[in-house]
Amino acid sequence: MRITGTTRVVGVLGYPVGHSLSPDMHNAAFDALDMDWCYVPFEVAPDRLEQSVRGLAALGVVGANLTIPHKRAAVAHLDEVRGDAAITGSVNTIHFDGDRLIGYSTDGDGFLGALAGLGVDPAGTEAVVLGAGGSAVAIVVALMRAGAARITVANRTPERAQALVELVGSQAGSGMTIATAPWDSESIGEALEGANLLVNTTSVGMKADPQQTLPVPAEALRPDLAVYDIVYTPLETPLVRTALERGGRALGGARMLVLQGAISFRIWTGVDPPVEVMENALRAGLERAHAGEGESKKM
Ligand code: ATR
């Protein structure tokens, strides 16, 4: 890659940001399409976020991803927030469109794309979502937008599950139910009895977990229950492995990570992203990180 005065710049703002695999994905995509663009990681402390966003605009940077801890805080510095981000109050993509700073969240559409790859049509589905953090909010909003019939949210800290339901409740269409369930095997097992989709957004099953814990009882993983786990370290979590072993359809978090990035790419460039190139770059980056540089389920 040769950087010149005509090179267009995008990037990611995070704190820390060294673990992010987004530069690998986007720079591989620019290379593959022979585009004069580059993607740069910027480590930005929380008290420098506003200055940084304004600085990027002043420098003519085209856009950026936002990762921990900036996804919510950035909203205050934007001119407009579109789509799911207007409901969730969390942005992972900003685009400097002329003089206006526009914010988006591409997580929900990334998730829906991953579900499509799993052969799941969310319209009319009954889903159980584990977790109530930022990822869960994005996923629940996407499922509601896609016409899910019933969504049950279970979280270790029940107040957060309740807060999620209150946040998104006004988006529920007629005939759509959103409820909480307690965080115990029996209650989650019961919620899964009538469900056809299980989504894990908690950190349970991440590589650091020596117990290789399953967030639900194995018996609850029926062959007709589709499972999506947003964790991508390891690429195949205990949940995904067990669901597959029991004859079900299941997929890990790498696909959603790639697709949310691919949607950001299209917002900035207007060009169709080379999704497979991005996925290969992500997988190569994860293999490098596997050597012990830590882990993440984040962008
Ligand atoms: P994200 O932005 O990915 O959603 P987050 O906001 O940190 O990340 O949320 C992490 C989720 O994983 C939360 O739902 C958290 O549960 P709490 O709200 O009770 O903290 C869940 N989580 C993390 N570790 C967990 C564990 N060991 N068992 C169950 N849930 C866990």
Same domain, 70 and 180: no
Whether 209 is in the pocket of ligand 1, judged by its Cβ within 6 Å, is no
Is 254 within the bounds of a domain? no
Same domain, 151 and 173: yes
Give the CATH number for residue 166: 3.40.50.720
Instruction: Give the pLDDT band of residue 172 (cuts 50, 70, 90).
Output: confident
The token pair that represents 265 in the structure block: 């790419």
Residue 137 Cα: closest atom of ligand 1? 4
Same domain, 234 and 266: no
Tell how far the Cα of 136 is from the centroid of ligand 1, in angstroms: 9
Ligand 1: which of 165, 184, 188, 203 to mutate, most ligand atoms within 8 Å of CB?
A: 203
Q: Domain boundary at 208, 225, 248, which?
A: 248
Q: Which structural domain, as residue segments, surrounds residue 164?
A: 120-248
Is 55 within the bounds of a domain? yes
Is 110 within the bounds of a domain? no
Q: How many domains does the chain have?
A: 2
Instruction: Name the active-site residue from 71, 207, 297, 298.
Output: 71
116-147 pLDDT per residue, tens = 999 999 999 999 999 999 999 999 999 999 99
Q: Domain boundary at 225, 248, 271, which?
A: 248
User: What stretches of 131-274 adopt beta strand conformation (E)?
Assistant: 150-154, 177-181, 197-200, 226-229, 250-251
Residue 71 Cα: closest atom of ligand 1? 2
Residue 136 Cα: closest atom of ligand 1? 4
Q: Give the Cα separation of 195 and 143 in Å (integer).
A: 14
Q: Is 71 a catalytic residue?
A: yes
Nearest CA, atom 24, ligand 1? 203
15-32 pLDDT per residue, tens = 999 999 999 999 999 999
Give the CATH number for residue 276: 3.40.50.10860
Is 1 within the bounds of a domain? no
Same domain, 84 and 141: no
Q: What pLDDT is attached to residue 213?
A: 86
Q: What's this model's pTM, rounded to 2 decimal places?
A: 0.95
Q: What pLDDT is attached to residue 120?
A: 95
Same domain, 178 and 70: no
Is 214 within the bounds of a domain? yes
Same domain, 64 and 130: no
Is 2 within the bounds of a domain? no
Q: Which residues of 145-171 are buried (b: 16+ CB within 10 A; e: fewer)?
A: bbebbbbbbbbeeeebbeebbebbeee
Q: Domain boundary at 206, 223, 248, which?
A: 248
Nearest CA, atom 5, ligand 1? 133
Whether 131 is in the pocket of ligand 1, judged by its Cβ within 6 Å, is yes
Same domain, 271 and 242: no
Same domain, 124 and 218: yes
Same domain, 220 and 265: no
